[in-house]
Chain A
Amino acid sequence: DAGVTQSPTHLIKTRGQQVTLRCSPKSGHDTVSWYQQALGQGPQFIFQYYEEEERQRGNFPDRFSGHQFPNYSSELNVNALLLGDSALYLCASSLGPGGPGTGELFFGEGSRLTVL
Chain B
Amino acid sequence: TQLLEQSPQFLSIQEGENLTVYCNSSSVFSSLQWYRQEPGEGPVLLVTVVTGGEVKKLKRLTFQFGDARKDSSLHITAAQPGDTGLYLCAGAINKLSFGAGTTVTVRA
Nearest to A56 among chain B residues (CB) is B95
A42 and B100 in contact, given A100-B93, A101-B33 (Cβ under 8 angstroms): yes
A105 and B96 in contact, given A4-B42, A99-B30 (Cβ under 8 angstroms): yes
Size category of the B interface is 20 to 34
Select one of B2, B29, B48, B94 contacting A56, CB under 8 A.
B94
The reply to whether B42 and A101 form a contact with Cβ atoms under 8 Å apart is: no
For B4, what are the chain A residues with a Cβ–Cβ distance below 8 Å?
A: 42
Compute how far the CA of A104 lies from the CA of B32 in the bound complex, rounded to whole angstroms. Answer: 11
The reply to whether A100 and B96 form a contact with Cβ atoms under 8 Å apart is: yes
Select one of B42, B92, B93 contacting A102, CB under 8 A.
B92
For A42, what are the chain B residues with a Cβ–Cβ distance below 8 Å?
A: 2, 4, 6, 88, 90, 98-101
For B33, what are the chain A residues with a Cβ–Cβ distance below 8 Å?
A: 101
CB distance from A100 to the nearest CB of B (A): 4
- Among A58, A92, A100, A110, chain B packs the most CB atoms within 10 A around the CB of A100
Compute how far the CA of A33 lies from the CA of B99 in the bound complex, rounded to whole angstroms. Answer: 17
For B2, what are the chain A residues with a Cβ–Cβ distance below 8 Å?
A: 42
In this complex, how many residues of chain A approach chain B with their Cβ under 8 Å: the count is 25
The reply to whether A43 and B98 form a contact with Cβ atoms under 8 Å apart is: yes
For B44, what are the chain A residues with a Cβ–Cβ distance below 8 Å?
A: 107
A92 and B42 in contact, given A42-B101, A102-B31 (Cβ under 8 angstroms): yes
The reply to whether A107 and B95 form a contact with Cβ atoms under 8 Å apart is: no
| A90: interface (CB < 8 Å) | yes
Compute how far the CA of A99 lies from the CA of B91 in the bound complex, rounded to whole angstroms. Answer: 12
Compute how far the CA of A42 lies from the CA of B33 in the bound complex, rounded to whole angstroms. Answer: 13
For B95, what are the chain A residues with a Cβ–Cβ distance below 8 Å?
A: 45, 48, 56, 58, 100
Q: Which residue numbers of B lie inside 8 Å of A, CB to CB? A: 2, 4, 6, 29-33, 40-45, 48, 88, 90-101
Q: Which residue numbers of A lie inside 8 Å of B, CB to CB? A: 4, 33, 35, 40-45, 48, 56, 58, 90, 92, 99-102, 104-110
